[in-house]
Structure 1
Amino acid sequence: MAFFRSRGRREDIQRADDLLAQARALYTAGRYAEAEAEARSVAAAQGRNPDDLAVPMALSIAALAASAQGHHAEALATYDAQLPVVSEVWGDEHRLTLKLRLGRAEVLNQLGRHTESEEECVAVCRAAARADMPYVVKDALIGQIRALDMLGAHPAVEAVARNVLAAHDGQDRFTVRVRFALAHSLNAQGRYEEALAENKRADVLDRAFPREDRAPETGMAELNEATAFFGLGRNAQARPLAASAHRDCLAFYGPDHPRTLQARSLLDRIDGA
C-alpha cells in the first residue's frame, strides 16, 4: 500500500528538480562520472524517507550515468534496489515506477539481455497507455526499437517504426528518433536508397532543433548515410561521413559506446574494401 505524501505532487517534483538540476546538467554535458557522483550525493543527503521523490529520481540519474560509463552491472544493481521501494511507495503504474523500469530495460539491453529488454518495454508501453502517459509510451517504444535492433530483428524494427509514424508523424524529437531508427533498419536490410531517403527526412527535421537538443542523436545521420553509401559501393562518399560520425561519437560518447563502435567498424570495412 502506498504511503501518503506530506507535500503536494507539484511541490515534490519542483523540489526534486531543483535538487537535481546540477546532476542533470552534468549528464546532458556528457560528464557522466561527475553526474553520477552528484546524483548519489543528493540521494545520500536526503536520508531514507521512502516518500522522498528526490531519492529515486537521483538514483535513476546515477544509474543512467553509470550505464553511460559502461558500468552496466552497477546500474542494474541500482535499479534492482530501487524498483521494489518505488513500486511499494508510489504504485506499480506511477510514472516514476515505469520510468525506472525503462531505465532498467535499457541496461538489460546493454548487458546483452535483449529479449528481456524488449519484453519489458512492451509491458511498460501497455501500462503507460492504460495510465494515459503518452511520453512514457514514446520512451517505451524507443526502448523496444533499440532492443529489436540489438536482436537483429530489423524487419520488426521497421514494422514498429512505420506503425508509430502512421499514428504519430510530428515535428518532435520522438519522430526524429523513430525516423533515424527506420533508416538504420532499412540499411540493415540492404535497402540503401530507401535508407538514404528516410535518413534525409530525419536529418532535416533534426537540424530544426537547437544543438543541445540534438546531442542524443550525435553521429546518427552521418553514420546512416555513410552505411548506405558504402552499401551502394560509393566508398569515396561514405568514408568522410563515417570518419565524421566516429569523431563526433568519440568526443561525445567515448570509445566504448555502441554508436562509436559502429562508426569505427564501418571505417575499417571501408578502408578494407
Structure 2
Amino acid sequence: MRWERARRGRAGGSAAPSRRVALDRIQNLLQAGGFEQAEAEARALAASSRTRGDGPDLISWPARSLAAGAAVAHGRGAELLPELDTLIKELRQTTGADRQLLLAVRSNRAAVLVQQDRHTEAEAEAMDILRGTTRIAHLTEVWRIELNALTNLAAALNGQGRYEEAEAIARGNLPRADGPAAFLHCALVRSLNGQKRYGEALAEARRYTPAGGRTASGTLGIVTARALHGLGRRDEAEAAAREALTACEQSLHPAHPRIKEARTLLAHITAEGPTPE
C-alpha cells in the first residue's frame, strides 16, 4: 500500500519532501523484490526520523512497517514476530483512516503465522483484519489489505484441511485480485490438491500463472508438483519440485519456510523410486 496518510501527517504536520520520496523509493524496491535493500533503507530512514524528533506517524511508523514487510517477504518472519507485535501495539493508538497502517502490519503478522503453521491463529487474525477494513472502508482505500487478508485466510483454511472453504474464498476473489493474485491462485490449486482433485489442480495451475515476482518464488512450482504427483506422473513431479526448490533457494532467505516445504516434497517424491517402466 502507499502511505498517503503518513505523508500528510496528523494535526497539520508534514514530512520533508525528500523523506516522502525516500518512502516511495523503499515501497518500489519492496514491490520489485529488492527485500534486502528495501529493509536497510527503511531502517535507516526510521532511525533518521527518530534523530530529527519527528512524530512516529510521519516517517518512523511507515518506515518501520516497510522494513518489517521486506523482512517477512524475504523469509525472516519468525525472527520478526516480536518486532511486529511491538509495532502493532504502538499503532493501536491510531484512529480513522490511519488504521490502514495497523491493518497492513497485522497482515504481515498473519502471513508469518501461516508460515509457522499456526493456522487457527492466522485464521482469527485474518478475520479480524477483514472486520477492520470494513470499519474504515468509507474513509480510505482498503482493497489491497482486504485481499491480503483473504489470501492469508485461504492459506490458513488449507492448513486446517478445510479445503472447500479455501477454494470458495480463492475462486470468489481471484477475479479482482492484483498484487496478491499469485498467492491466492496458489491457494486455489492447493485446495484442489487437498481434495484430491489433481487433474483440476494441474489444469488450474497451468491455465493461469499470475506474476508474483521474487516474493512468490517456488509457490506455483510446489503446488504443480503436488498435482503431478497425485496423478502418478512422478518424473514430472520431481522435475517441478526441483525447479521450485531452485527458485526458492535463489530468491529467498535460507530461513524461508517455503524452502523447507520444497525440500520435503522433493524428498517425498524421490523416496518412492523411479516411475515403473
Q: Is the 2:157–2:166 contact (alpha carbons within 8 Å) kept by the matching residues of 1? A: yes
Cα distance in 1 for partners of 2:97, 2:31 equals: 28
**Shift in Å at residue 225 of structure 1?**
2.0
TM-score for both structures, normalised by structure 2: 0.79
Judged with a 3 Å threshold, the aligned counterparts in structure 2 of structure 1 residues 181 and 234 are, in CA distance, closer, same or farther, namely same
| 1:130-175, Cα deviation, whole Å (9 max, x unpaired) | 322222211111121222233343233113223334xxx2473444
Partner of residue 257, structure 1: 256
CA RMSD of aligned residues (A): 2.9
Question: Counterpart of 1:142?
Answer: 151
From 28, 36, 40, the counterpart of 1:37: 40
Deviation (angstroms), 1:27: 4.3
CA contact (8 A) 1:149 1:185 kept: yes
User: Equivalents in 1 of 2:224, 2:86: separation in Å?
Assistant: 41
Structure 1 stretches of 4+ moved >6 Å: none
Kindly indicate whether residue 160 of structure 2 is the aligned counterpart of residue 151 of structure 1: yes
TM-score (norm. length: structure 1) = 0.80
Contact 1:26–1:35 (Cα < 8 Å) also in 2: yes
2:103 is aligned with 1:98: yes
Mapping 1:59-208, distance limit 5 Å = 59-68=64-73, 71-91=76-96, 94-132=99-137, 133-165=142-174, 169-170=175-176, 172-203=178-209, 206=210
CA distance in 2, matches of 1:217, 1:13: 34
Q: In the aligned structure 2, how far is the partner of 1:13 from the partner of 1:236?
A: 57
The question of whether the paired residues in 1 share the 8 Å contact of 2:33 and 2:213 is answered with no
Distance 1:110 1:244, change over 3 A: closer
1:232 deviates by 0.9
Aligned to 1:19: 22
Counterpart residue number, 2:3: none
What amino acid sits opposite 1:199 in the alignment? A
Q: After TM superposition, give the deviation of residue 89 of structure 1 in Å.
A: 3.9
In 2, Cα distance between equivalents of 1:245 and 1:135? 27
Conservation of the 8 A alpha-carbon contact between 1:101 and 1:124: yes
Q: Secondary structure at the match of 1:6?
A: coil
Q: Distance in 2 between matches of 1:202 and 1:17?
A: 36
Q: Which has the higher relative contact order, 1 or 2, with Cα contacts under 8 A spaced 6 or more apart?
A: 2
How has the CA–CA distance of structure 1 residues 241 and 156 changed in structure 2, closer, same or farther, with 3 Å as cutoff?
A: same
Structure-2 separation of matches of 1:178 and 1:109: 13
Aligned residues: 258
Counterpart of 2:101, as a letter, is L
Change (3 A) 1:13 1:186: farther
| Counterpart mapping for 1:45-60 below 5 A | 45-47=48-50, 48-60=53-65
Alpha-carbon separation, structure 1, partners of 2:135 and 2:67 = 29
Q: Which runs of 5+ in 2 are unaligned?
A: 1-8, 273-277
